[in-house]
Amino acid sequence: MNQNLSQTFLAITRNSTDLEWLQGALAPLGQVVSAGAGSLDELLALVDVTFASLVFVGLDRDHVVAQSALIEGALEAKPMLAIVALGDGMDNQLVLNAMRAGARDFVAYGSRASEVAGLVRRLNKRLPPVAANTQLGGLTVLYGTQSYSDGALLANHMAQVVQKSGQQTLLLDLGLPRGDSLALLGLESSFHFGDALRHLRRLDATLIDSAFTSAEAGLRILAYASSDEPLENTSAAELYMLLSALRQHFQHIVVNLTGQSDSEALRTFVSHCDKLIWYTDQNVLNCRRNLAVLNLWREKGMKLDHARLLVDGYLGSVAPDAETLGKTFNLEVIAVLAANAEVRLNAKNQGVSLFELAPREKLTQSLRALGERLAKRSEGLVKPKAISWFDRLRGTS
């Protein structure tokens, strides 16, 4: 996961407002991931894949019996887990129920961020150190607010370069319009993103080999289907478990999220990737839309130290130039891609890669260099073993 985040916390809250309050309070310490509606099995699975040692559980009068049972069940399965209850600080009965169930502490909804962060820091000093999973593959996200097929075109080429470097690579295409990564290469698929979510427990090497679409040099592609639910309807818990499962089978995953609107699901990808490539062009209107999202995330305390700016369709004679854009976004410019409109159009219409169609073009060379840069980040990772993710959860690997 993104090394800029020091810790992952899990939370079961009443609503998204409570979750955002907790995320804002703990932003300097790490990422708060929603653990769904309160299923013990889902909570324990998330603890296993996130290596979380601290869980927040919201309590209310109408469901306190079930919520207390959840705390007791989680601690019975994971005795070293620390659970902090959330609720109405004026309700003494909730506080008593939380303590009896085994919660380490109680936090009232709406408490000051400094109080919540201070409590977590104190608890962390008494918790055992968290072991990181060094077997997870690299994760690169390409994101920009623009919704057109060039996002898929660029993600395709970056993923191809990483695959050809000798690393098992997956292109996870969740950009808009849907499924362009497949269409650009003249490929079809019967297994899509929604299918992967529905078959999380079966997502092993056998299923990947038989169901995931294979492109040039063995690159695997998992894309949106037209019938899949919108990304914003996917829970952070589902995405976290899917990413953890996929990263145990691939040495590098390139995710295309161009065109997606801001959502908890999108932020989950952004917060847990190793490299965020922010995709824009010189169009001032597009820049404004991108900056609106970027500045919102910064205001909410999201860690974006791993973000870099990619300027596409670049024309040196047009303002703003790349240097100005980098200063405006306050991001290092990782690449500047030439417009080459004719070459792009030919590649799309003919269903072939730029590496085959125009290997000497500046655009092609820049994409190759960018892909090679990504490949270096994960070249030392151990080749994933051909065992099921469910076996890993059960501790049999």
Residue 145 lies in a domain: yes
Asked whether residue 395 carries a pLDDT value surpassing 50, the answer given is no
Q: pLDDT, tens digit, for every residue of 341-380?
A: 999 999 999 999 999 999 999 999 999 999 999 999 776 6
Q: Return the SS3 of 86.
A: strand
For residues 149 and 204, state if they share a domain: yes
Share of the chain above pLDDT 90, in %: 77
Torsion-angle region of 192 (φ positive above 0: left; ψ -120 to 50: alpha; else: beta): beta
Residue 78 lies in a domain: yes
As for how many domains the chain has, the answer is 2
Final residue before a domain boundary, out of 76, 103, 126 = 126
Q: What local confidence, expressed as pLDDT, does residue 2 receive?
A: 47
Residue 388 lies in a domain: no
More confident residue, 284 or 50: 284
Of residues 194, 224, 195, 223, the one with CA closest to residue 207: 195
Q: What is the mean pLDDT of the chain?
A: 91
Work out the average pLDDT over 286-314: 95
Final residue before a domain boundary, out of 95, 126, 157 = 126
For residues 76 and 197, state if they share a domain: no
For residues 276 and 338, state if they share a domain: yes
Q: What local confidence, expressed as pLDDT, does residue 288 receive?
A: 98
Query: Are residues 314 and 322 in contact, defined by beta-carbon separation less than 8 angstroms?
Result: yes
Q: What local confidence, expressed as pLDDT, does residue 258 receive?
A: 98
**CATH number for position 116:** 3.40.50.2300
Residue with tokens 């072991």: 131
Residue 395 lies in a domain: no
Q: How far apart are CA 216 and CA 371, in angstroms?
A: 15
For residues 219 and 306, state if they share a domain: yes
Asked whether residue 133 carries a pLDDT value surpassing 70, the answer given is no
Q: What local confidence, expressed as pLDDT, does residue 158 receive?
A: 98
Q: What local confidence, expressed as pLDDT, does residue 194 receive?
A: 97
Beta strands in the chain (DSSP E): 8-12, 31-34, 54-58, 82-87, 105-108, 138-143, 169-173, 213-214, 220-223, 252-256, 275-280, 307-314, 333-338
Q: pLDDT, tens digit, for every residue of 108-122?
A: 998 999 999 999 999
Confidence bin at 303 (pLDDT 50/70/90): confident
Q: pLDDT, tens digit, for every residue of 219-278?
A: 999 999 999 999 999 988 889 899 989 999 999 999 999 999 999 899 999 988 999 999
For residues 175 and 324, state if they share a domain: yes
Residue 15 lies in a domain: yes
Q: What local confidence, expressed as pLDDT, does residue 383 receive?
A: 58
For residues 69 and 149, state if they share a domain: no
For residues 49 and 158, state if they share a domain: no
Q: How far apart are CA 124 and CA 134, in angstroms?
A: 22
The DSSP secondary-structure symbol of 122 reads H
Residue 182 lies in a domain: yes
Residue 397 lies in a domain: no
For residues 18 and 113, state if they share a domain: yes
For residues 57 and 198, state if they share a domain: no
Q: What local confidence, expressed as pLDDT, does residue 216 receive?
A: 83
The reported pTM is 0.87
Which domain does 53 fall in, by range? 8-126
Work out the average pLDDT over 90-96: 92
Residue 307 lies in a domain: yes
Query: Are residues 194 and 229 in contact, defined by beta-carbon separation less than 8 angstroms?
Result: yes
Which of 87-101, 178-192, 221-235, 366-380 shows the lowest per-residue confidence on average (mean pLDDT)?
A: 366-380
For residues 48 and 191, state if they share a domain: no
DSSP notation for 231-297: GGGS-HHHHHHHHHHHHTT-SEEEEE-TTPPP-HHHHHHHHH-SEEEEEE-S-HHHHHHHHHHHHHH
Q: What local confidence, expressed as pLDDT, does residue 134 receive?
A: 56
**CATH number for position 275:** 3.40.50.300
More confident residue, 176 or 7: 176
For residues 100 and 181, state if they share a domain: no
Which amino acid is residue 302, in one-letter code? Answer: M
For residues 231 and 253, state if they share a domain: yes
Q: What local confidence, expressed as pLDDT, does residue 170 receive?
A: 98
Query: Are residues 337 and 360 in contact, defined by beta-carbon separation less than 8 angstroms?
Result: no
